[in-house]
Amino acid sequence: MPATETATPLSNTPLVALRDVELAFGANAVLRGISLEVQRGQAVSIIGPSGSGKSTILRCITGLLRPQRGEIRVGDTRVDALRAEAEFIALRKRVGFVFQQYNLFPHLTVLENLVIAPTRVAGRERAAAEREARELLDKVRLSHKAAAYPGELSGGQQQRVAIARALAMRPELMLFDEVTSALDPETVGEVLTVIRDLVREGLTCVLVTHEMRFAEEISDTVYFTEAGVIVEHGPPARIFRAPASDRTRAFLHRALGDGARDPSDDSVPARRPAPFPETPPFDRLRFAL
């Protein structure tokens, strides 16, 4: 297999481009020179150990965090140079964000969660926004939960609502921040199915994930980060089967479990590796109460 570094031609201007982005919280350097590109219509996964700055990259792209150095472009927007609130608003209308902990608005029904931003922020007609919201709920297979409150849903259902809520703004770019890490293993699949559909439809997606098999399946490019730098990137087949760096190999060995995947072995393991919950599943606790 030819070991090309990028999966797409470089002639197109990328939708997202980070160049030498550095960010520190106090003395703690989180990003130490991150460069990354996402072409329009691509799915890019960022993998790596916890605390390697994966989520921070996503937060920088949507302007929730501001890097101290480097350049971030989303389309024609220089995100690192934005100052006024109106400029951030214009950016975030184009970028959808899905969080690990869903962060739905608990005081609103599922339908209202999907309608509030399009009507209040994008200024769409209520009836049209509602119709579109119902279509999106249909798409994430939750049309029967339109009148429910987030607290009445399981974690997987809440996460699917959160994806639909972000889609309701018709973003041209979706950022997924470890969206399955807080979920029960049995509900992970239903969320991944929704994301897989979006990628197939050609929506540009950036995923931070611990679901290695999923990243391998849907990504056009995979970035491996460790300790605030990108160790290597390339098409998933190469990253997962023939990583260039020993650090990538060591990480994949840990992440996929001993013997789950030998880099030289082409056969796909029957069992999906266990997801890596970075945080305890709070929702399970809540439902027990």
Partner 1 sequence: MASEIAAAPAAPALGTEAGAGFIAHLDPRRHPWLAALAAVLLLVAAWTATGTTPVALRHLWQWSPTLLLGLLTNVQISVLAMAIGTAVGLLVGALSFSPFAPVRGATRWYVQFFRNAPVLVLIYFTTYVFPFELRLAAWTVPFPDWLKVVLGLALPTSAVVAEIFRGAIQSIPSAQWEAAQSLAFRRGEIFRLIVLPQCLRRMLPPWMNLYASITMSTALSSLVGAHDVVDAAQVASNTVARTDFTVLVYFTLLAVFFAYCYPIARATRALERRHARH
Site of interaction with partner 1 (CB under 8 A): 62, 64, 85, 88-90, 92-93, 95-97, 99, 101, 103-107, 116-117, 120-122, 149-152, 165-166, 169, 289
Minimum CB distance to partner 1 smaller for 7 or for 72: 72
Minimum CB distance to partner 1 smaller for 39 or for 158: 158
Q: Give me the least distance between CB of 222 and partner 1, in Å please.
A: 24
Q: How far apart are CA 119 and CA 48, in angstroms?
A: 38
Q: Give me the least distance between CB of 149 and partner 1, in Å please.
A: 5
Strands (E), the chain: 16-25, 28-38, 43-47, 69-74, 77-78, 95-98, 173-177, 204-208, 221-226, 229-234
Q: Give me the least distance between CB of 253 and partner 1, in Å please.
A: 33
Q: Give me the least distance between CB of 11 and partner 1, in Å please.
A: 31
Contact 261, 269 (CB under 8 A): yes
Q: Give me the least distance between CB of 103 and partner 1, in Å please.
A: 4
Contact 268, 217 (CB under 8 A): no
Minimum CB distance to partner 1 smaller for 95 or for 192: 95
Minimum CB distance to partner 1 smaller for 117 or for 212: 117
Minimum CB distance to partner 1 smaller for 10 or for 128: 128
Buried b (16+ CB within 10 A) or exposed e, 53-86: bbbbbbbbbbbebebeebebbbbebebbebeeee
Minimum CB distance to partner 1 smaller for 31 or for 115: 115
Question: Nearest Cα to 34, choosing from 13, 12, 19?
Answer: 19
Token readout for 49 is: 């150990």
Q: Give me the least distance between CB of 122 and partner 1, in Å please.
A: 8
